[in-house]
């Protein structure tokens, strides 16, 4: 539907009611009354109440007015606005500097009030209130009329707030064009010839100050979704083999480290240049950047071959680089400690001024600790952290730090002595739950968060996708929403900094959209947000089926992963397949998992598992049916939407076959424990095998969801 001007509406009224003078007079009087009320309210508020028209009949009727010397963030905001206007209408708006006089018409003002002369003038005239006391990342979007100029102001603090103001304006444009609210900026839209927005007067700021990704995402996407920290820059494989401080020499071209490099000069220079460009792109979009490093990780092969004086004795570990052992960099030798200090300084100098800080992580085997007394190693590791922090601050006094794994396996700090020594504003990340399992409660102690805040730091909860059940997993938006809101409404909580982004490929984009929005505003209607995204991708009827199926699957899998329906033991007593909550998909479906299920020790445990699986299976089948039923009315707006749907359909079926297979295995175990016939036992095992084959067939059909 196209929006019409008031003149067009009157012309239409004439045609409709020309046979009825009474109707015409009535409508005319009502119109006069309406505009008189508009005029009175305008005199009171200085805000226009009629639609602000941006494009009419395919032609721009509005200008963008920007600061004479816009910052890079303001330039990005300007380009974003025109990008979406072009996406919606097929045209763009002219851009003028605030140094040029404008006498009348519609204009969109972009910039901070200090940098945009028109916005500053509105503030001085008291037409724009309280713009001088905006909080960090707070923004204003408002219609204001000054004489013959009708202005749409988008301003914020600092420049990042300007980006968020423009993002909000774009959301309003899309909502007006589609009739959907709330919406996400990842929208496919048919071209419209007219674009306008209703009267708007919004002042907004984020609920949580830290909205972080710990996966490498597109900088523009992050900015559009108000993510302000990219916390996993550089290499991150999650193994400690090539993403630790011990291999961080690849980030520099400093000659003093040349004989410690594993990469050739051309490869290294390409890495450095690509990382520099990415850091600039992130900074220009208002996003802080942190280089990720395990402390310590394994040393380079060159160090092992040429610098044995820096190393300690070998430590056996089957998941090391050579599959047998690693040889750690010393945590105590002076020459090794000096090397770390020099490397830290070189990295910061290489990427200044775009590198905000380091994300330092120490937990589990990725730390690659030497052999020795654990309490002494704990102290030595804290000393290394002090070396890293102090060396960084010598180069850049404003350098920042994220620390993962504080007061866990490593970085023990029961009396908070080391917490007190960290630079103010340090971010301390804690995993959701025990090990990132899909639950609706992060279970981070309030006392811990308050302790972190007491020392001037911020705690952040890692809500990243459930890596422990990757690569085939679930939509977690409902669980995330429940968990986040447990903290956002807690009156006894002080200083929770925020959460991290979650979500991977396929329809898991819904997790990204929901998590980014709720970290900004926990009260957002996340269900409508998902539904509206699916409506634009598949049509309204199919969207309802898809959303229903995905949410049912979330409920089923969260229920299953709480105890694996008794088919696996969290303690390892059943067999070799149990991994606690650190179970990957292949541990759930592999040989060891089958061994676990067939090793259930007694009838009571078998009956429990049978009851649990008998409950889960029909619920998952219901989920799969919902997804399939969407196919009847499916109207995919792109090939990507179609592939995401097909992958989801196969995924839901796969989980149905999985539960059916496991139920057959449990029933087979029941027959065995009760001394049933061999024939009945073999029938159950044969059925389990058939379901497993069907499950494999469904997995083979999944094209894109597996990363």
Query: Residues 284-307: what's their mean pLDDT?
Result: 96
Residue 34 pLDDT greater than 60, yes or no: no
pLDDT at 17: 34
Residue 576 pLDDT greater than 70, yes or no: no
C-alpha 441/C-alpha 443 separation (Å) is: 5
Query: Residues 590-610: what's their mean pLDDT?
Result: 89
Q: What SS3 class is residue 505?
A: coil
Using H for helix, E for strand and C for coil, what is the string for 159-215?
Answer: HHHHHHHHHHHHHHHHHHHHCCCCCCCCCCCCCCCCEEECCCEEEECCCCCEEEECC
- Could you give the angle at which helices 678-701 and 639-674 cross, rounded to 10 degrees? 170
C-alpha 54/C-alpha 63 separation (Å) is: 8
C-alpha 326/C-alpha 299 separation (Å) is: 9
Q: Which residues contact 208 (CB under 8 A, 6 or more apart)?
A: 496, 497, 498, 499, 519, 520
pLDDT at 464: 61
Question: Is residue 483 a contact partner of residue 470, using CB atoms and an 8 Å limit?
Answer: no
DSSP string, 560-588: HHHHGGGSS-TTS-S-TT-BTB---HHHH
Question: Is residue 563 a contact partner of residue 580, using CB atoms and an 8 Å limit?
Answer: no
Query: Residues 555-565: what's their mean pLDDT?
Result: 89
Contacts within 8 Å (CB) and 24+ apart, 539-547: 539/633, 539/634, 539/635, 541/630, 541/633, 542/630, 542/631, 542/632, 542/633, 542/634, 542/635, 543/630, 545/626, 545/627, 545/629, 545/630, 546/507, 546/626, 546/627, 546/630, 546/645, 546/648
Residue 265 pLDDT greater than 90, yes or no: yes
Query: Residues 509-516: what's their mean pLDDT?
Result: 94
Among 45-49, 562-566, 597-601, where is mean pLDDT lowest?
45-49
Walk me through the domains of the chain, giving residue ranges and CATH numbers: 1-45 (no CATH), 49-204 (3.30.379.10), 210-234+424-524 (no CATH), 236-298+330-374+388-412 (no CATH), 545-701 (no CATH)
Among candidate residues 395, 406, 329, 399, the one with its CA nearest the CA of residue 360 = 406
Question: Is residue 62 a contact partner of residue 194, using CB atoms and an 8 Å limit?
Answer: no
Among 24-38, 103-117, 499-513, where is mean pLDDT lowest?
24-38
Among 185-189, 193-197, 317-321, 519-523, where is mean pLDDT lowest?
185-189
Residue 377 pLDDT greater than 50, yes or no: yes
DSSP string, 19-85: T-HHHHHHHHHHHHHHHHHHHHHHHHH----S-EEEEETTEE-EEEEE-SS--HHHHHHHHHHHHHH
Q: Is 69 exposed, middle or buried (0-12, 13-18, 19+ CB in 10 A)?
A: exposed
pLDDT at 505: 65
Tens digit of each residue's pLDDT (9 = 90 or more) over 387-445? 999 999 999 999 999 999 999 999 999 999 999 999 999 999 998 887 777 889 999 99
DSSP designation for 324: S
pLDDT at 590: 78
pLDDT at 520: 97
**Residue % of the chain over a pLDDT of 70:** 88
Question: Is residue 299 a contact partner of residue 310, using CB atoms and an 8 Å limit?
Answer: yes
Using H for helix, E for strand and C for coil, what is the string for 510-543?
Answer: HHHHHHHHHHHCCCCCHHHHHHHHHHHHHCHHHH
Q: Any idea what the Cα angle at residue 394 is, between residues 391 and 399, rounded to 5°?
A: 85
C-alpha 213/C-alpha 60 separation (Å) is: 37
pLDDT at 706: 54
C-alpha 641/C-alpha 49 separation (Å) is: 38
Among 44-58, 322-336, 647-661, where is mean pLDDT lowest?
44-58
Query: Residues 34-60: what's their mean pLDDT?
Result: 64
Question: Is residue 479 a contact partner of residue 554, using CB atoms and an 8 Å limit?
Answer: yes
Q: Which H or E element spans position 232?
A: strand 229-233
Residue 345 pLDDT greater than 50, yes or no: yes
Query: Residues 622-629: what's their mean pLDDT?
Result: 98
pTM: 0.88
End-to-end CA distance of the chain: 39
**Quick one: pLDDT band at residue 584, thresholds 50, 70, 90?**
low
| Angstrom distances, CA of residue 35 to CA of 31, 41, 44, 107, 560 | 6, 10, 14, 22, 60
Mean pLDDT of the chain: 88
pLDDT at 495: 84
Question: Is residue 328 a contact partner of residue 370, using CB atoms and an 8 Å limit?
Answer: yes
Q: What SS3 class is residue 481?
A: helix
Question: Is residue 135 a contact partner of residue 123, using CB atoms and an 8 Å limit?
Answer: no
**Quick one: pLDDT band at residue 63, thresholds 50, 70, 90?**
very high
Among 39-43, 194-198, 341-345, 376-380, where is mean pLDDT lowest?
39-43
Among candidate residues 195, 177, 41, 6, the one with its CA nearest the CA of residue 108 = 195
pLDDT at 705: 64
């Amino acid at each position: 539907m196209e929006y019409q001007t008031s003149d067009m509406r009157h012309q239409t009224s004439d045609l409709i009611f020309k046979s009825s003078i009474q109707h015409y007079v009535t409508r005319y009087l009502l119109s006069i009354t309406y505009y008189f009320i508009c005029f009175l309210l305008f005199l009171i508020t200085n805000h226009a109440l009629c639609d602000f028209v941006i494009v009419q009949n395919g032609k721009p009727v509005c200008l963008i007015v920007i600061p004479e010397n816009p910052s890079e963030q303001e330039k990005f905001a300007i380009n974003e606005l025109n990008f979406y206007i072009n996406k919606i209408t097929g045209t763009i708006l002219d851009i003028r500097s605030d140094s040029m006089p404008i006498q009348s018409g519609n204009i969109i003002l972009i910039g901070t009030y200090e940098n945009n002369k028109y916005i500053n003038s509105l503030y001085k005239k008291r037409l724009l209130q309280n713009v001088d006391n905006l909080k960090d990342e707070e923004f204003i979007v408002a219609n204001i009329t000054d004489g013959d100029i009708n202005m749409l102001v988008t301003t914020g603090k600092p420049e990042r707030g300007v980006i968020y103001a423009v993002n909000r304006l774009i959301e309003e444009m899309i909502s007006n064009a589609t009739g959907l609210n709330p919406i996400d900026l990842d929208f496919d839209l048919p071209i419209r010839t007219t674009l306008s927005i209703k009267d708007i007067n919004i002042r907004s700021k984020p609920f949580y100050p830290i909205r972080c990704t710990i996966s490498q995402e597109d900088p523009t996407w992050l900015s559009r979704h108000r993510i302000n920290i990219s916390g996993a820059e550089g290499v991150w494989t999650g193994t400690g083999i090539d993403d630790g401080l011990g291999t961080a020499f690849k980030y520099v071209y400093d000659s003093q480290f040349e004989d410690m490099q594993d990469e050739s000069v051309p490869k290294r220079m390409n890495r450095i240049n690509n990382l520099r460009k990415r850091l600039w792109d992130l900074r220009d979009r208002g996003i802080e950047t942190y280089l990720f490093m395990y402390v310590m990780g394994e040393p380079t092969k060159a160090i092992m071959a040429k610098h044995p004086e820096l190393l300690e004795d070998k430590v056996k570990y089957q998941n090391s680089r050579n599959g047998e052992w690693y040889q750690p960099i010393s945590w105590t030798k002076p020459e090794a400690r000096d090397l770390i200090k020099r490397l830290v300084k070189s990295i910061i100098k290489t990427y200044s001024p775009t590198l905000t800080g380091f994300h330092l992580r120490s937990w589990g085997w990725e730390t690659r600790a030497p052999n020795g007394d654990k309490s002494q190693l704990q102290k030595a590791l804290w000393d290394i952290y002090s070396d890293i922090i102090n060396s960084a601050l010598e180069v850049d006094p404003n350098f920042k730090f994220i620390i993962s794994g504080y007061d866990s396996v490593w970085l023990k700090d029961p009396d908070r002595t080391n917490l007190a020594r960290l630079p103010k504003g340090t971010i301390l990340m804690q995993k959701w739950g025990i090990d990132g399992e899909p639950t609706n409660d992060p279970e981070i102690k309030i006392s811990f968060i308050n302790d972190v805040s007491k020392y001037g730091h911020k705690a952040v909860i890692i809500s990243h996708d459930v890596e422990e059940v990757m690569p085939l997993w679930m939509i977690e938006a409902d669980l995330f929403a429940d968990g986040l809101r447990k903290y956002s409404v807690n009156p006894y909580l002080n200083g929770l900094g925020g959460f991290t982004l979650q979500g991977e490929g396929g329809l898991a984009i819904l997790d990204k959209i929901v998590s980014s929005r709720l970290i900004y505003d926990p009260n957002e209607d996340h269900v409508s947000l998902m539904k509206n995204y699916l409506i634009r991708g598949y049509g309204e009827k199919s969207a309802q089926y898809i959303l229903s199926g995905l949410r049912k699957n979330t409920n089923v899998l969260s229920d299953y992963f709480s105890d694996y329906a008794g088919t696996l033991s969290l303690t390892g007593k059943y067999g070799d397949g149990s991994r606690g909550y650190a179970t990957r998909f292949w541990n759930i479906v592999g040989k060891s998992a089958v061994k676990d299920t067939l090793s259930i020790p007694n009838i009571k445990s078998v009956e429990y598992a049978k009851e649990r699986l008998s409950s889960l299976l029909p619920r998952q089948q219901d989920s799969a049916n919902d997804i399939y039923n969407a196919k009847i009315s499916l109207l995919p707006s792109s090939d990507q939407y179609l592939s995401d749907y097909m992958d989801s359909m196969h995924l839901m079926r796969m989980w149905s076959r999985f539960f059916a297979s496991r139920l057959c295995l449990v029933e087979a175990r029941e027959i065995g424990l009760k001394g049933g016939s061999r024939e009945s036992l073999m029938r159950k095992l044969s059925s389990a095998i058939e379901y497993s084959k069907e499950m494999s067939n469904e997995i083979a059909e999944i094209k894109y969801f597996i990363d």
